[in-house]
Structure formats: C-alpha cells, structure tokens
Amino acid sequence: MKEKVVLAYSGGLDTTAIIPWLKEHFDYEVICCCIDCGQGNELDGLEERAKLSGASKLYIEDLVDDFCDHYIIPCVQANAVYENKYLLGTSMARPAIAKRLVEIARKEGATAICHGATGKGNDQIRFELGIKALAPDLKIIAPWRMTDVWTMQSREDEIEYCRQHGIDLPFSADSSYSRDRNLWHISHEGLELEDPASEPNYGHLLVLGVTPEKAPDEGEYVTMAFEKGVPVSVNGESMKVSDIIRKLNELGGKHGIGIVDIVENRVVGMKSRGVYETPGGTILMEAHQQLEELVLDRATMEAKKDMGNKMAQIVYEGKWFTPLREAVQAFVESTQQYVTGEVKFKLYKGNIIKAGTSSPYSLYSESLASFTTGDLYDHHDADGFITLFGLPLKVRAMKMAEAGQK
C-alpha cells in the first residue's frame, strides 16, 4: 500500500506540477488540500485540475471564519503591524493553513506534508514551524529546496513537465506578479517591484481597489461598533467578522485605502519589496485604535504597544503555535475588556479621517481636559509634581556644574 502525502494545493502551476513530481520521485498517493481563506474565484475548477494532474483526492476546506475569528482578530486587538506598515495578511493565514493540513494528514493516515513555498521566502518557515509544532512526526517535503530532484527553474519548465506527463492545463508562461490573496489582503511581488527605484505600475497592479487619485471626489462616512475589541457592526448593521471585513474591503477599495509599498526584512535574511492591498484591514485596525485611545490608560497603552510589536514579530516569523504567542495574546485580551463603543470616520482619497468616537467606558473627562478649571484638578498641584518629576534632571545639572567648576 502506497504512503500518502498531503499537498498544500493552490491550483496554480507550481503546486499542479508538484502532483506528478511527487508520484514520480516518491511513489506517493497524493491528496490535495486547498484551504479557502477567502481567495475568491481562485478556487474555480480546482477539483478537475487536481484529479487530471494525478491526485487521488481533493479537499477544499472553508477556513474563512476560523481565519477571521482566531487569527485576524487577535492581531487586530494587538495592533500587530510588522515594520510599521505590513498588516500580516499572508503571515496570519499560514498557521491556520498548517493546522488544517495536519488535521487532514491525520484523517488520511498520511506520513508527509508537502508545500510549494520557495527556499527564499518566509512561507516555508511559517508552514514548517506550524507543522513541527503540531505534528513533529510528519515528514515535510519542500520541492523547491530539493534541487537534486526538483530541476524545474521556470514556468516554461513546469508547463513542459506537465505536458510530458499528459497534463494539458490552461497555464501560460507569461510573466506576471507573484500574488497571495485571502480575505484580509492581496500581496504583489515581482516585475517592476523587484527594483526599489521603480514606481509601482498601479494601473496594472491593483486588484482590490483604486489609487487615491482615482477615488471619488466625495468622502463617505462610516460608523463601526465594537464589543470587547471585536467589531460587531458597520453602519448599524450587525455582521460576523468575515462579513465586516468584506464590507470594509468594498468601502476601502472604493476610496483608495490601504495601499502599502514596502521594502521589508524577511526572516531568511534578505530584503524584499512588495505592494500590499489591505483596504478593509487598514480601516479595521484604525477604527480599533481610535476606540482604544478613548478607553485604555496611559501605562496600559505603553505596554500594549510593545506587546503589539512582539506579536507582529511572532506572527511574521511563523511562531504562532508557541507559548510566547499564547502569553502575548492573553495579555492583549485582558486589555480588551472595556474596548466597547462606536467609532465614526470619513473615507476620502486614501485617508481615514476621524469623525467622533464614543464609549461607555471612556476615560476622557471633559471637566478635566477643558481649559476651564474643574473640581478634580487644582493647577497648584502641578508645582509639586513638576518639582519631583524634574528632580533627577535638576540634580544632574547641578552635579555637572560642580564638576565643571572643579
């Protein structure tokens, strides 16, 4: 009886060519598993393609709500942003995918899991750390790193390999951007983006929206409600998180929100340049932050900023299934107890403009903050506070002056 391998299958040329390659070089029974994290029409025609390529079975697993509720929301609550710009769209999806691949492998009695990530990227790390953490006994096959047996170096090579194995598929050798898409975002790499000195060809590149220049000349007001740090409605309409992100994607794309051009530091040591479209995610992160400004005290916000950066690093590096991620997430969740309220803003040509925030747990006191003296604040109290708060500076200046005189 043949051993089984579960292949993380996207339906693209790379993973399609991997199916006959696995059978030829390892004599595996290939079980394809396509994880739907909201990539839309990319899933059309997958079953026929997988079977035609030699797979014995294809799973199409709908993980959209799981992805939103258990991976996206913890990162939104943490304000996890990598290197000040990247909202972790690909990074958050990989542990969700790895977990389901392991579950399918267990169900099928497979001995290995195969992925099509290259040896230069971050995804190989994210997939494999997830698999190692959840199923250390399973073998991991990464064809692009097995250069002694994986000899294909181009799309032309892969198309010819498939043709030689009787697989005639509608793939072309045309150069295009390398993209990754899910409900949260779409990333673009390659072509002119490989030169940081080149401006992105946004007219050719964008998928989820338009540039700010092409956005409507009229702004649009949006109101969102949160309960304990979780979005629950848009413009008064209650929705689950995945539908909220869909709605915000539509609004954000229309108004040119969330287009980021970044040169980032990959885990493997190189810099890479990419353009990310995250229209709905950018709005959701900003709205959540606006509510936290009203609710969280200064010391908690300061600590949470550090934890958000740590969470971003953890997720980017593929360390989701670790005690550290659980601990950081537990801290963040403890800060969300009172992050409840309503946020209003205007979308206008790439901008998210505040239009009012309210919460039953607001720490803002108008009587304290206004220029009119209130009962809780005596201006004279500031004298003693500044004397003590500035004492170290004053003492140091005095001692330095003494040393200078000597």
Mean pLDDT confidence for 300-328: 98
**Shared domain check, 257 and 235:** yes
Section 91-116 average pLDDT: 98
Mean pLDDT, range 341-359, rounded to an integer: 98
Task: Give which of 326, 322, 318 is closest to 129, Cα–Cα.
Answer: 318
86 domain residue, yes or no:
no
Asked if pLDDT for residue 223 goes beyond 90, the answer is yes
Shared domain for 272 and 215, answered yes or no, is yes
Q: Does residue 81 have a pLDDT over 70?
A: yes
> Quick one: pLDDT band at residue 367, thresholds 50, 70, 90?
confident
| Residue 343 belongs to a domain | yes
Predicted pLDDT of residue 275: 98
**What single letter denotes the amino acid at residue 218?**
E
CATH of the domain at 52: 3.40.50.620
Segment 89-116 shows an average pLDDT of 98
**pLDDT classification of 361: cutoffs 50, 70, 90:** very high
Quick: pLDDT tens for 35-78.
999 997 777 788 889 999 999 999 999 999 999 999 999 999 99
Element (H, E) at 33: strand 29-36
**Domain limits for position 219:** 178-296+339-358
Q: For 262-283, what is the mean pLDDT?
A: 98
Q: Measuring CA to CA, which residue among 223, 186, 217, 212 is closest to residue 351?
A: 212
Tell me the C-alpha distance between 374 and 202, whole Å: 53
Residues annotated as part of the active site: 14, 94, 123, 178
CA distance 33 to 41: 16
Q: 156-171: buried (b, 16+ CB within 10 Å) or exposed (e) per residue?
A: eebbebbeebebebeb
The DSSP annotation for 116-178 comes to ---TTSSHHHHHHHHHHHH-TTSEEE-GGG-TTT----SHHHHHHHHHHTT---S-------E
Phi, psi of 338, rounded to the nearest 5 degrees: -115, 15
Query: Does residue 79 fall inside a structural domain?
Result: no
Q: Based on the domain organization, do 142 and 188 belong to the same domain?
A: no
Q: How many CA atoms lie within 13 A of 327 on its CB side?
A: 6
- Determine the pLDDT at residue 387: 96
**Confidence category of residue 379, pLDDT binned at 50, 70, 90:** confident
Q: What rounded mean pLDDT belongs to the chain?
A: 95
Question: 218 and 289 share a domain?
Answer: yes
146 and 234, same domain (yes or no): no
In this predicted model, which residue has the larger pLDDT, 405 or 351?
351
pLDDT band with cut points at 50, 70 and 90 for residue 172: confident
**Is residue 371 predicted with pLDDT exceeding 70?**
no
**Average pLDDT of 297-301?**
98
Q: Does one domain contain both 10 and 157?
A: yes
The average pLDDT across 197-215 equals 97
Q: What is the pLDDT of residue 338?
A: 98
Quickly state the pLDDT bin for 374 (edges 50, 70, 90): low
* Mean pLDDT score, 120-127: 97
In a domain, 84, yes or no: no
Q: Is 307 a residue whose pLDDT tops 90?
A: yes
Domain-embedded: residue 365: no
Tell me whether residue 51 is in a domain.
yes
- Which of 118, 142, 164 is the C-terminal boundary of a domain? 164
Could you tell me if 197 and 113 lie in one domain?
no
Give the other-Cβ count within 10 Å of 57's Cβ.
16
Domain end point (choices 110, 140, 164) = 164
Q: Are residues 213 and 266 in the same domain?
A: yes
pLDDT of residue 366: 79
279 and 131 together in one domain: no
Rounded distance between C-alpha atoms, residue 91 and residue 63, angstroms? 15
What are the phi and psi torsion angles at 388 (to 5°)? -75, -40
160 & 280 share domain: no
pLDDT tens string 389-402: 999 999 999 999 99
Domain end position, chosen among 164, 192, 227: 164
Is-contact 36 11, C-beta < 8 A?
A: no
Output the furthest CA–CA distance in the chain (Å, rounded).
Answer: 91
**Same-domain status, 156 and 192:** no
Specify the pLDDT at position 373.
59
Same domain, 97 and 224: no
Regarding pTM above 0.85, the answer is: yes
CATH at 283:
3.90.1260.10
What pLDDT is stored for residue 189 in this prediction?
96
Write out pLDDT tens, residues 332-342: 999 999 999 99
Q: Is residue 372's pLDDT more than 70?
A: no
Do 264 and 274 meet the contact criterion of CB atoms below 8 Å apart?
yes
All residues at 6 or more sequence positions from 235 whose CB lies less than 8 Å from its CB, including other chains = 222, 223
- Tell me if 285 is assigned to some domain: yes
Structural domain count, the chain = 3
pLDDT beyond 80 at 174: no
Percentages helix, strand, coil for the chain, rounded to the nearest 5?
45, 20, 35
